[in-house]
Amino acid sequence: MSTLTRDPRRNTQRPSAAPDRRADYRRRMRRSDVMVATLWASAAAAVALFLVYGGAGKFGTIGDAITSLGIVAGLIGTDFILVMIVLAARIPLIDRTVGHDRAIAVHRSLGKPALYLLLAHGVLLLIGYGIASGINPIAEVGQMLAIPDMPLAFVGLGLLIAVVITSLVAVRKKFSYEGWHLVHLLTYVAVLVAVPHQLSVGGIFAAGSFERAYWIALYILAFGSIATFRFAEPFVSSIRHHLRVKSVTQIAPGVVSIELSGRRLRSLRSAGGQFFIWRFWTGRTWWHSHPISLSSVPSDRAARITVRNLGTGSNAISRVPVGTRVWFEGPYGVFTDAGRTAPKLAVVVAGIGITPVRAFLEDSNLRPGETTILLRASTNEETYLWDEVVQLARDKGAHVYTMVGRRSSGRRAWMPADDDRRGVTLRSVFPDLKNSDLYICGPTPWLDLVEAEARANGIPEHQLHMERFDW
């Protein structure tokens, strides 16, 4: 009897794995809201440290007021920097909640405010202290340099300015990714050399105080996250899973599928659509790491990535010899089934953007008729993995549309000119867009256009899922 009652229950739950999506989404949003609130609260806590120190009473004279503002700017700016480090640490909880790209977007948005606050910190304190001792701010620089730990703090600020300038998009394009990344690593140096002056020059973080303990704890949290999730965990994981290149197959001009063999790959629990950051240990490629999605769901002993020659780096990895040792960080990203919130599924994909979509579809539990897929390529040669996606769609009862041809112009440039003339729209391909999760993957300029049209059709924010090809 018991087996009889158990079996039907299992059977009724099986086909409707979807209904929990709402609850999952709410849970993720709750976590996300707590994270946002924590971000705000940490800035408030930085100001509160100054208030505990009696800061509210230090605005009596102009000099004092400027000095106090300078101190507050330094506290908030440093707090922002530490938050940025936490956001860049690829902490699994943050990645699962909002996704790595969202976390990096917040990271970037804090960069300039943090720099301005820390610049203000330096300038305001030079003015404030200058007024207090009756000398001009430039002469005050000499005074400050005489204080122990201050020369290091000046070095730190200089480094930070260099880092932020090289990170601004306009300048970044002139650097290679590695050059930029190397400069970016200087942030750690900049942040660390600023620590001594925080603890020794002012009185806020007096030895043995709670404030000092809190501040040091923030640093440990930030740098501990980096050390754990950017270095230790990927290293251990790479050693344990022992990935090597098994075969490299050209599937189209300039596009290769790389089969990797390894151990216990299922224990990585990567969901279809997630990406890893790969490092191929050959003489030419070891210094370069690549974010690439798996192009199919891995078995316990094998995984596959599909790569197009986008830059010099990915050109080199398309020629790695069989047997090359491969290290990785990941899996990352919420371009997966776990991100679903709506009853229907719409997928738009262009070019090599097919790879995460291919794995995502394979990993998704889809009802017949639930899914509509739109495949986009400029030429027939760029229809990578289309055969596999079409096969998957057939198995899972999904509709597939294709668009091949030179692009149209203006806001409609995401589709071929022919389709544009025929009056095709995103809405005509996906009539039920408002009740659909829209997954978009492809080159950034193309993706931006699709996203704009989706938004113009009133799709809710949480139903948009995007994977852009930039770093």
Partner 1 sequence: MRIRAALGGIFASAAILGIGWQFGSAAAATFTKQDTAPSTNTTSTGTSTATASPSPSASVSASASVSASASPSASPSASSTGSVSGTFTGATESTQFGNVQVEIVVTAGKITDVKALRLTDQGGRSVQISNYAAPILRSEVLKSQSAKVASVSGATYTTDGYLSSVQSALDKAGL
Residue 417 CA to residue 420 CA, distance in Å, equals: 5
Question: Which residue, 152 or 162, is less far from partner 1 as judged by CB?
Answer: 152
Q: Give the Cβ contact number of residue 269 at 10 Å.
A: 8
- In contact, 373 and 384? CB cutoff 8 Å: no
The runs of H, that is alpha helices, within 134-228 are: 137-145, 150-167, 169-172, 177-193, 195-200, 210-225
Number of residues counted as binding partner 1 (CB under 8 A): 43
Contacts (CB under 8 A) with partner 1, residues 78-137: 129, 131-134
Contact flag: residue 322 with partner 1 (CB under 8 A): no
Reference 339, options 21, 101, 30, 18; nearest CA is: 21
Quick one: which of 201, 252, 316, 400 contacts partner 1 (CB under 8 A)?
201
If binding is defined by CB under 8 A, does position 202 make contact with partner 1? yes
* CA 235 and chain centroid, separation: 20
Q: Which helix (H) or strand (E) holds 347?
A: strand 344-350
Spatial CA neighbour of 345 closest among 287, 398, 408: 398
The least CB distance from residue 203 to partner 1, in Å, is: 4
- Interface pattern 249-288 for partner 1 (x via CB under 8 A): ----------------------------------------
- By CB under 8 A, what part of segment 12-71 binds partner 1? 29, 32-34, 36-41, 43-45, 47-57, 63
CB of 198 or CB of 285, closer to partner 1: 198
Question: 3-class DSSP state for residue 324?
Answer: coil
Per CB under 8 A, contacts with partner 1 among 428-467 are 462
Nearest distance in Å: CB 213, partner 1: 15
Residue closer to partner 1 by CB (options 208, 321) is: 208
**Which residue lies nearer to partner 1 by CB, 427 or 462?**
462
Strands laid side by side in the 399-404 sheet: 399-404, 371-377, 344-350, 436-442, 464-468
**Smallest separation, CB 128 to partner 1 (Å):** 10
**Range 130-189, binding partner 1 (CB under 8 A):** 131-134, 143, 146-150
* Among 19, 158, 203, 369, contact with partner 1 (rule: CB under 8 A): 203
Helix and strand numbers (H, E) in the chain are: 18, 11
Q: Which amino acid is at 313?
A: G
Q: How far is the CB of 78 from partner 1 (least distance, A)?
A: 16
Please give the full DSSP string across 228-285, using - where no structure is assigned. IIIIIHHHHHHHHHTEEEEEEEEEETTEEEEEEE-SSGGGG-PPTT-EEEEEE-STTT
Question: Would you tell me which residues interact with partner 1 (CB under 8 A)?
Answer: 29, 32-34, 36-41, 43-45, 47-57, 63, 129, 131-134, 143, 146-150, 197, 200-203, 206, 462
